[in-house]
Amino acid sequence: MQLEVPPDLEALVQRRLATGAFANAEDVIRRALESLEAEESWTQEEEKIDRALAQVSTGQVYGPDEARRKLAALRAAHLAKNLA
């Protein structure tokens, strides 16, 4: 893959290289993309937490026994669907 990098981004890459923390431009870009991926993944986790907190605030919670029953039912439905 060939990339044309605008001067402002090239300057950012060069500044990172100047720190000595990266061996080459590829490492800088890899780290930037990994950071972006981690940030997006965390945002998805935050959304799950927000949904769970909303359920708790409206009383949509249940105890461990009911949770086990629900999981068992989901598992049985999943197996039935995939074994059919």
> What confidence score (pLDDT) does residue 4 get?
92
> What confidence score (pLDDT) does residue 81 get?
87
> What confidence score (pLDDT) does residue 18 get?
97
- pLDDT-flagged residues of the chain (< 70): none
> What confidence score (pLDDT) does residue 59 get?
87
> What confidence score (pLDDT) does residue 10 get?
96
Residue 64 CA to residue 71 CA, distance in Å, equals 10
Name the pTM for this structure: 0.56
Q: Which distant-in-sequence residues (6+ apart) come within 8 Å of 28 by Cβ? A: 13, 16, 17, 22
